[in-house]
């Protein structure tokens, strides 16, 4: 066999391909850059907050009410204070009550609406209109919900600047997201399950109760918890309904109509005070808020992994 | 069956009778035609999906405690007919049913018939095994529980699993998930679920089409076994299967028409219609 002759047809070094590869690499670089900007900014922010809070975040900070004097927050001064140390306790407890009440309202209203829309409502133009608007409501700025809460609950229903007004306002805020995510969870239940249930002589309610809901619960819970962790950090709505900037005692568990403080408001208050050291106090508050937020997200992920049989 | 028969008790093949369903013809015609009682009878049954007609004037009398096979090419309406028997078509928004379907002489599309009550008498097994993500026991007990037949659940579950020829394979793992079973076992579990509340009729929509040959033959044996106690209506794509297990065969061809309905032997050996013969011998479909 003779040696193969040099081919003119086959451009094996592929100069034009190289050029395309270069363009690809440039694009990849841009995408990596875009990712890094976000991550670096976030890490920088978190590090800054952690550094600021370092040394100021103590057990006393979690268990004492706030103080007017910045010295009271400094752990170095704890030994010789006429009053107790300053802390975030009432706002921490207030936020937990607030979010618990919100969770109850959201569970009932959000899941109820989702079940109706997904399982019962006929597929009419009206239903489609309602569903489209629920999605739109998810994009309404939170301050608007704050104004709504102020007009509807605080003024019209005379709840005053109370825990329940705050909880209802936060419920309105996250309701659209909860309804949409619950609907998606219900939609993900295969129709073959529903058919199997109806074929066994089950009524609609029995099918929803015994087959559809148990399958959808992990998705519904995940959606609710993620929404709640958004709600716990919201400042604008509770600012509008008149949450106290600083309270020196936690709200009464038995009386949701009383005034309340919440962590975002407390942090906002600290951050707006002139003394420089209050920035450390605000940072410590932010770390507490973030820790609770991460905890809630972890619970959501746990629930999703624990109950997701398909996964 | 090609004739327009009139009443729910009328099962004569070639008799044209336009009298309303309540006026039944004599039982002699009934004896002549089948020699056994028809439990389900459709008269001029038509089903539409939106503007599309899926079933065209179906007249059929399904005999009690026998296996009736529905065969025909894809999209010929056989599954639609099956679903119209226990009103599963109600679940499809665009589906519309016209004509009559009698179960024990009662038109199931009458206003006073509750489809849930109907489905408690007419169980169903689907094409793809669809056990609930619950334990084997809870799967079989599901129908019993939703139908408030909660006395002796243990006993009834065991009985249903035995009838479905699954008991020996699962008796030691009743608490494990129904989804852990093989495809063939899952389908027998679904059959057990369907027969546990003791219906009269079992509808099967290609129950073996997603299974391997061994699992298929088990299902086929089971179907023949079940016809001792239940009326079985089975949709199948597989003509050999229809020939093996059914007593009567209905051939649906395109356009949702029932072309021929007769004893299975006759359909497969000496069909009246040329098109049915062509279909059976594999010339089309």
Nearest CA in chain A to B187: A196
Q: Write down the mean pLDDT value for chain B.
A: 86
> Measured between CA atoms, how close is B280 to chain A, in angstroms?
31
Q: For residue range B157-182, what is the model confidence (pLDDT) as tens digits? A: 999 999 999 999 999 999 999 999 99
Q: How confident is the model at residue B31 (pLDDT cuts 50, 70, 90)?
A: very low
* Set of chain B residues whose Cβ sits within 8 Å of the Cβ of A311: none
The CA distance from B231 to B39, in Å, is 8
CB contact under 8 A, B131 and A196: yes
**String of DSSP letters for chain B:** --S---STT---SS----S-TTS---HHHHHHHTSS-EEEEEEEEEEEETTEEEEEEEEEEEETTSEEEEE-STTSSHHHHHHHHTTGGGGSTTEEEEEEEEETTEETTSTT--HHHHHHHEEEE-SS----SSBHHHHHHHHHHHTT--TTHHHHHHHHHHHTT-HHHHTT-TTSBGGGS-HHHHHHHHHHHHHTT--SEEEEESTTTTS-HHHHHHHHHHHHHHTTTSEEEEE-S-HHHHHHH-SEEEEEETTTEEEEEEEHHHHHHS-SSHHHHHHHTTS--
Q: For residue range B51-73, what is the model confidence (pLDDT) as tens digits? A: 999 999 999 999 999 999 999 99
- Specify the pLDDT at position A159: 83
Assess whether pLDDT exceeds 80 at residue B79.
yes
Q: Give me the interface pTM, i.e. the ipTM.
A: 0.84
Retrieve residue A294's tokens: 């991460």
Residue with the two structure tokens 């709840």: A159
- Specify the pLDDT at position B2: 40
> Measured between CA atoms, how close is A32 to chain B, in angstroms?
42
- Specify the pLDDT at position A1: 54
A217–B contact, CB cutoff 8 A: no
Q: Which domains does chain B show, CATH number per domain?
A: 36-280 (3.40.50.300)
Assess whether pLDDT exceeds 50 at residue A148.
yes
Assess whether pLDDT exceeds 90 at residue A177.
yes
What lies within 8 Å, CB to CB, of A234 at 6+ separation is A142, A170, A173, A264
Q: How confident is the model at residue A13 (pLDDT cuts 50, 70, 90)?
A: confident
Assess whether pLDDT exceeds 90 at residue A15.
no
- Specify the pLDDT at position B98: 94
Note the Cα A81 to chain centre separation in Å: 38
Average pLDDT over residues A49-71: 88
Assess whether pLDDT exceeds 50 at residue B3.
no
> Measured between CA atoms, how close is B254 to chain A, in angstroms?
26
How far CA B27 is from CA of A99, B37, B160, B261, in Å, comes to 73, 10, 35, 20
Q: Which domains does chain A show, CATH number per domain?
A: 89-307 (1.10.3720.10)
CB contact under 8 A, A195 and B130: yes
Assess whether pLDDT exceeds 80 at residue A9.
no
The CA distance from A164 to A152, in Å, is 12
By percentage, how much of chain B surpasses pLDDT 70?
87
Q: For residue range B232-256, what is the model confidence (pLDDT) as tens digits? A: 999 998 899 999 999 999 999 888 9
Assess whether pLDDT exceeds 70 at residue A63.
yes
Quick one: CA torsion of B165, B169, B174, B177, rounded to 10 degrees? -100
Q: For residue range A27-40, what is the model confidence (pLDDT) as tens digits? A: 999 999 999 999 99
- Specify the pLDDT at position B122: 95
CB contact under 8 A, A211 and B194: no
Average pLDDT over residues A148-167: 89
CB contact under 8 A, A200 and B142: yes
Contact in structure between B80 and B262 (CB atoms under 8 Å): no
A192–B contact, CB cutoff 8 A: yes
Q: Which of B244, B114, B222, B220 is nearest to B166 (CA)?
A: B222
A122–B contact, CB cutoff 8 A: yes
Retrieve residue A14's tokens: 């592929």
* Set of chain B residues whose Cβ sits within 8 Å of the Cβ of A201: 116-117, 119-120, 123, 143, 146-147, 197
The CA distance from A264 to A286, in Å, is 8
CA angle B125, B126, B132 (to 5 degrees): 85
* Set of chain A residues whose Cβ sits within 8 Å of the Cβ of B194: 199-200
Of B133, B146, B177, Cβ closest to residue A201? B146
Assess whether pLDDT exceeds 50 at residue A310.
no
CB contact under 8 A, A194 and B147: no
CB contact under 8 A, A210 and B130: no
The CA distance from B31 to B157, in Å, is 37
CB contact under 8 A, B116 and A211: no
Q: For residue range A211-266, what is the model confidence (pLDDT) as tens digits? A: 999 999 999 999 999 999 989 988 889 888 888 777 788 777 777 788 888 999 99
Q: For residue range A284-301, what is the model confidence (pLDDT) as tens digits? A: 999 999 999 999 889 888
- Specify the pLDDT at position B13: 37
Q: How far apart are the first and last CA of chain A?
A: 59
Of B130, B142, B194, Cβ closest to residue A192? B130
Assess whether pLDDT exceeds 60 at residue B15.
no
* Set of chain A residues whose Cβ sits within 8 Å of the Cβ of B124: 195, 199
Beta partners for B234? B69, B204
* Set of chain A residues whose Cβ sits within 8 Å of the Cβ of B128: 192
* Set of chain B residues whose Cβ sits within 8 Å of the Cβ of A197: 132, 142, 146
- Specify the pLDDT at position A275: 85
By percentage, how much of chain B surpasses pLDDT 90?
72
- Specify the pLDDT at position A261: 87
Q: How confident is the model at residue A6 (pLDDT cuts 50, 70, 90)?
A: low
Q: For residue range A80-133, what is the model confidence (pLDDT) as tens digits? A: 777 788 889 999 999 999 999 999 999 999 999 999 999 999 888 999 999 999
CB contact under 8 A, A215 and B133: yes
> Measured between CA atoms, how close is B142 to chain A, in angstroms?
7
- Decide which of A80 and A277 is more confident: A277
Assess whether pLDDT exceeds 70 at residue A44.
yes
Average pLDDT over residues B72-88: 92
CB contact under 8 A, A198 and B179: no
């Amino acid at each position: 066999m003779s040696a193969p002759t040099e081919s003119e047809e086959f451009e094996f070094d592929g100069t034009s391909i190289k050029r395309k590869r270069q363009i690809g690499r440039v694009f990849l670089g841009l995408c990596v850059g875009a990712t890094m900007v976000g991550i670096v900014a976030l890490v920088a922010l978190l590090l800054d907050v952690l550094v600021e809070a370092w040394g100021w975040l103590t057990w006393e900070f979690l268990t004492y009410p706030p103080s007017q004097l910045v010295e009271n927050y400094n752990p170095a001064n704890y030994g010789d204070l006429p009053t107790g140390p300053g802390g975030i306790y009432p706002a921490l407890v207030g936020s937990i009550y607030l979010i618990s009440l919100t969770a109850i309202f959201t569970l009932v209203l959000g899941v109820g609406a989702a079940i109706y829309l997904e399982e019962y409502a006929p597929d009419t133009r009206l239903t489609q209109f309602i569903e489209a608007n629920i999605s739109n409501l998810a994009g309404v700025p939170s301050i608007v919900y704050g104004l709504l809460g102020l007009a509807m609950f605080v003024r019209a229903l005379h709840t005053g600047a109370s825990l329940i007004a705050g909880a209802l306002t936060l419920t309105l805020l996250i309701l659209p997201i909860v309804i949409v995510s619950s609907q998606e969870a219900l939609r993900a239940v295969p129709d073959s399950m529903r058919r199997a249930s109806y074929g066994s002589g089950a009524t609609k309610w029995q099918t929803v109760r015994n087959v559809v809901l148990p399958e959808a619960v992990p998705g519904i819970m995940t959606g609710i918890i993620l929404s709640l962790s958004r709600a716990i950090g919201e400042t604008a709505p509770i600012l509008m309904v008149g949450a106290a900037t600083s309270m020196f005692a936690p709200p009464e568990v038995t009386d949701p109509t009383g005034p309340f403080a919440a962590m975002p408001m407390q942090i906002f208050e600290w951050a707006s005070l002139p003394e420089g050291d209050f920035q450390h106090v605000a940072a410590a508050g932010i770390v507490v808020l973030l820790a609770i937020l991460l905890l809630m997200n972890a619970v959501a992920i746990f629930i999703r992994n624990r109950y997701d049989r398909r996964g | 069956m090609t004739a327009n028969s009139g009443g729910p008790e009328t099962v004569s093949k070639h008799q044209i009778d336009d009298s309303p369903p309540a006026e039944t013809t004599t039982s002699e015609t009934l004896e002549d035609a089948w020699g056994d009682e028809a439990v389900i009878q459709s008269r001029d049954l038509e089903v539409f999906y939106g503007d599309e007609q899926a079933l065209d004037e179906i007249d059929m009398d399904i005999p009690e405690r026998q296996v009736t096979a529905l065969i025909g090419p894809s999209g010929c309406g056989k599954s639609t007919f099956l679903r119209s028997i226990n009103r599963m078509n109600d679940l499809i928004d665009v589906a519309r049913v016209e004509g009559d379907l009698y179960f024990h002489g009662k038109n199931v599309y009458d206003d006073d018939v509750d489809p849930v009550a109907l489905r408690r008498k007419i169980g169903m097994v689907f094409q793809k095994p669809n056990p609930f993500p619950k334990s084997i026991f809870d799967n079989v007990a599901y129908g019993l529980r939703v139908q408030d037949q909660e006395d002796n659940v243990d006993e009834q579950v065991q009985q249903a699993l035995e009838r479905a020829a699954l008991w020996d394979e699962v008796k030691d793992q009743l608490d494990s998930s129904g989804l852990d079973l093989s495809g063939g076992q899952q389908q027998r579990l679904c059959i057990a679920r369907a027969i546990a509340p003791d219906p009269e009729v079992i509808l099967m929509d290609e129950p073996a089409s997603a299974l391997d040959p061994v699992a298929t033959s088990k299902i086929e044996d089971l179907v023949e076994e079940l016809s001792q106690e239940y009326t079985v209506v089975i949709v199948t794509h597989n003509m050999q299967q229809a020939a093996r297990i059914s007593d009567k065969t209905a051939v649906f061809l395109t356009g949702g028409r029932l072309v021929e309905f007769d004893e299975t032997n006759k359909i497969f050996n000496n069909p009246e219609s040329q098109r049915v013969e062509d279909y059976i011998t594999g010339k089309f479909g």
